[in-house]
Amino acid sequence: MLTELVLAPSDPLTYAPALVPDEKEISQRTLAVHGGEPRTYPYDALVAPITQTATYSFADTAELIAYFEGRKDREEYGRYGNPSVRLVEEKLAALEDTEDAAAFASGMAAMTSTILALVKSGSHVILFADCYRRTRQFVTTFLDRFGVSNTLIPPADVGALRAAIRPETRLVIAEAPTNPYQTVPDLEQLAEICRAKKVKTLIDSTFATPVNFRPANFGIDIVVHSATKYLAGHNDVLGGVVAGKAGIVSLVRDLRSVFGACLDPHAAYLVHRGIKTLALRVEQQNASAQALAQRLEQHPRVRRVWYPGLPSHPNHETAKRLMTGFGGVVTFEVDADLDGTSRVVDACRIPRIAPSLGGVESLIEQPALMSYFELSTEEREAIGIRNNLIRYAVGIEDTGELIADLVAALDRTA
């Protein structure tokens, strides 16, 4: 079956997918490499070309008319579509097991365009309080100005969701796992509650990746990714993707044509190439993070570890049921104050100090200083960001060496 599909002929000019995801036996590893790609490209190139063009020419007026009458499927102008971008979309749709996907210039461009495509003045949006900070800012301060109201519900509290739904609720936004405490709400239950009330569900699945979790298979309507993180995976490009049913993706794509936050063809090439190794990288990152989390739990200077792969995590059972891997981010609290915690960060020799995650390089940061610098200790405590918190986003370096480096940093600064 797999051989048949891989060898299926396809038209290189329309970039028809050769591998379709509804064949359940095809693994994410194989889909990452071949999913959504034609068997050949122009000039028999094995690898997808970068179609670097701002616009597209028509052979004659008859072709132009045929295109506008819908009799001819082709590109028209760069803001409306590009074959290099289309390849990213096809691959993501294959990996997420959705009908379609649309790519954007960044994760936030994908998120804001999607939300705007689904709400109007008078709508109500529900989101979990621990969702990505800029998403929360967009909904609570920006959308609020345009008459779209919102309710923030406590992290992972699906019961609170039931109570928060109103007749005008259009959209529920969730993430799994979240930052920095790695909460995993019961998204299957969430999807069920929302479907009964005809409310759309949007999951920011950046931390999980389609290797660990495919929200569409649990009844979630829309999946958004910051492709900047695991999908592209090399800390060298910004991008975003929205995946879901064709009708919703089409609405979002229409809005992209208006807002113009398109993924550049060169960036699309980097994202597309990055995704080819997604499964290998994420499997390695899952394994390293699990081992690092377990080792940290044994360390006398570590007060608490937050990783959904640990039985000590409050959402461990939910994560086990929904996900096939627990991700590459480990959050932990050191037995130290703000400065003592900074000393641990500074003493690490392998991870680099930087925001972001999901790339081949391990990154380390103190949320109190990186994302919440402008707040006082008291204000941080109020939203659950402690001064002694460290977020470690593992890369693909050797697991044993990453652990030894962090343990040495903890020991040296004791």
Ligand X SMILES: *Cc1c(COP(=O)(O)O)cnc(C)c1O
Could you tell me how far CA 351 lies from the centroid of its own chain?
21
Q: Nearer to ligand X by C-beta: 37 or 365?
A: 365
Q: Nearer to ligand X by C-beta: 229 or 301?
A: 229
Q: Nearer to ligand X by C-beta: 130 or 405?
A: 130
Q: Nearer to ligand X by C-beta: 78 or 358?
A: 358
Q: Nearer to ligand X by C-beta: 21 or 328?
A: 328
Give 212's Cβ-side CA count (13 Å radius).
27
CB 100 within 8 A of CB 251: no
Q: Nearer to ligand X by C-beta: 324 or 356?
A: 356
Q: Which stretch binds ligand X (CB under 6 A): 225-233, 252-260, 300-308, 375-383?
A: 225-233
Q: Which stretch binds ligand X (CB under 6 A): 201-209, 279-287, 309-317, 339-347?
A: 201-209
Q: Which stretch binds ligand X (CB under 6 A): 23-31, 86-94, 102-110, 384-392?
A: 102-110
Number of residues that bind ligand X (CB under 6 A): 13
**Which residues are CB-contacts of 337 (< 8 A; sequence separation ≥ 6)?**
387, 388
Q: Nearer to ligand X by C-beta: 175 or 264?
A: 175
Query: What is the identity of the amino acid at 155?
Result: P
Closest by Cα among 255, 275, 273 to 96:
275
Collapsing DSSP to helix, strand or coil, 61 comes out as helix
Please give the DSSP secondary-structure letter assigned to residue 162: H
Binding mask 293-332 for ligand X (x = CB under 6 A): ----------------------------------------
265 vs 134, 237, 240, 269, CA distance in Å? 26, 12, 13, 6
Applying CB under 6 A, which of residues 34, 214, 229, 272 lies at the interface with ligand X? 229
C-alpha span between 245 and 368 (Å, rounded): 38
Q: Nearer to ligand X by C-beta: 97 or 175?
A: 175
Give start and end residues of each alpha helix (H) in 197-335: 209-212, 246-259, 265-276, 278-297, 316-322
Q: Does 106 bind ligand X (CB under 6 A)?
A: yes
CB 134 within 8 A of CB 145: no
Q: Does 226 bind ligand X (CB under 6 A)?
A: yes
The maximal CA–CA distance of the chain, rounded, in angstroms, is 76
Q: Does 230 bind ligand X (CB under 6 A)?
A: no
Applying CB under 6 A, which of residues 240, 265, 309, 359 lies at the interface with ligand X? 240
Instruction: Give burial (CB, 10 Å; 0-12/13-18/19+) of 358.
Output: buried
Q: Does 366 bind ligand X (CB under 6 A)?
A: no
Site for ligand X in 329-348 (CB under 6 A): none
Site for ligand X in 203-222 (CB under 6 A): 204, 206-207
β-partners of residue 173 are: 127, 202
Q: Nearer to ligand X by C-beta: 101 or 410?
A: 101
**Which residues are CB-contacts of 165 (< 8 A; sequence separation ≥ 6)?**
126, 172, 193, 194, 197, 199
* Smallest separation (angstroms) from ligand X to the CB of 127: 12
Binding mask 27-56 for ligand X (x = CB under 6 A): ------------------------------
Q: Does 15 bind ligand X (CB under 6 A)?
A: no
Q: Does 285 bind ligand X (CB under 6 A)?
A: no
Q: Does 107 bind ligand X (CB under 6 A)?
A: yes
Site for ligand X in 146-185 (CB under 6 A): 175
To 10 degrees, what angle do helices 83-96 and 265-276 make? 30
CB atoms within 10 A of CB 104: 29
Binding site for ligand X (CB under 6 A): 106-108, 132, 175, 204, 206-207, 226, 228-229, 238, 240
